[in-house]
C-alpha cells in the first residue's frame, strides 16, 4: 500500500497552505502545528513532512522551534525542508529533531554542499527535492525555473548517492485537480532505484489508488486533508 505522509507547512509558526507556492494565497488552518501533528499521530500516521516556508523565502532556517516541539511531543518521523542552504542550518534541523532533511534549491545552486551532506549524514537521512514547473526543476520557493529537466536531474543525484526523492508538480500543488500520474510513471521507469514521493494535486482516495497502481511508493498529502477531501479515518 502507498505510504501516506501528511504535510505541515509553517509560516510564523502556524500551520498554513499555499496554492502553487504563492505566498499571497496563504490560508491558516491551525495556530498550533503540534495539535495537527498529534491528530495525525492519533490516526496511526508515522511520518510527517514539515516545511519551513519562512525559511524557503529567506534562505535560512526559521521555524526550528516548531520542529523542536513536534519532535519532542510526538513519535513522528519528521522530514524537514525549507531554507536549508548552509551546513549550520542542517545541523540545527537535526539537532531540533528532524530525522531527515530535504534539499532542493541547494542541490542546484550549491551541489558540492549537498553532496557533502549525503556523505556526512548518509543517504537515508538526505532527501532530494526535485520540484517541477513547466517541465523543469524549480527552486527558491518555486520562484525560479532552471534549465534542468527532472529525469537527468534525479539520475545525476542518484549517481552521487541519493535514493529518496520528493517530486512536486508545482502547477498542481494546492489545486486539488489530481496528481501528474504520467510524470511519476516516467520518473519510476527511468529511475527505478529511487524511492519516489509524489506531491501536488491529490484530491481523493481515487488519486491515492491511481498513484499506488502506477507504482509510486509514497505520497505527501496537504490541502486534501485540510479541506476534508480525504479523511484520516479512511487512511487507517
Give catalytic residues, as residue numbers.
9, 131
Sheet holding 144-149, edge to edge: 132-133, 136-139, 144-149
Nearest-angstrom CA–CA distance, 101 and 91: 10
Which neighbouring-strand residues pair with 168?
199
Nearest-angstrom CA–CA distance, 107 and 127: 10
CA angle 186, 187, 192 (to 5 degrees): 110
Identify which of 32, 24, 114 has the alpha carbon closest to the alpha carbon of residue 65.
Answer: 32
Nearest-angstrom CA–CA distance, 116 and 86: 11
Amino acid at each position: 500500500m502507498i505510504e501516506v505522509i501528511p504535510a505541515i507547512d509553517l509560516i510564523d509558526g502556524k500551520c498554513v497552505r499555499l496554492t502553487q507556492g504563492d505566498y499571497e494565497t496563504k490560508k491558516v488552518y491551525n495556530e498550533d502545528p503540534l495539535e495537527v501533528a498529534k491528530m495525525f499521530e492519533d490516526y496511526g500516521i508515522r511520518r510527517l513532512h514539515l516545511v519551513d516556508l519562512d525559511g524557503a523565502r529567506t534562505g535560512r532556517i526559521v521555524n526550528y522551534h516548531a520542529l523542536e516541539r513536534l519532535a519532542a511531543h510526538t513519535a513522528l518521523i519528521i522530514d524537514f525542508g525549507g531554507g536549508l542552504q548552509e551546513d549550520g542550518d542542517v545541523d540545527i534541523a537535526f539537532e531540533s529533531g528532524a530525522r531527515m532533511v530535504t534539499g532542493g534549491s541547494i542541490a542546484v545552486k550549491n551541489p558540492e554542499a549537498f553532496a557533502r551532506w549525503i556523505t556526512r549524514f548518509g543517504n537515508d537521512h538526505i532527501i532530494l527535492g526535485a520540484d517541477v514547473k513547466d517541465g523543469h526543476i524549480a527552486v527558491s520557493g518555486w520562484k525560479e525555473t532552471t534549465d534542468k529537466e527532472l529525469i537527468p536531474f534525479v539520475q545525476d543525484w542518484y549517481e552521487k548517492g541519493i535514493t529518496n526523492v520528493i517530486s512536486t508538480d508545482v502547477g498542481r500543488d494546492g489545486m486539488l485537480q489530481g496528481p501528474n500520474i504520467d510524470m511519476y510513471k516516467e520518473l519510476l521507469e527511468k529511475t527505478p532505484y529511487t524511492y519516489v514521493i509524489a506531491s501536488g494535486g491529490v484530491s481523493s482516495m481515487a488519486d491515492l489508488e491511481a498513484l499506488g497502481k502506477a507504482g509510486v511508493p509514497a505520497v505527501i498529502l496537504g490541502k486534501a486533508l485540510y479541506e476534508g477531501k480525504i479523511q484520516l479515518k479512511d487512511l487507517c
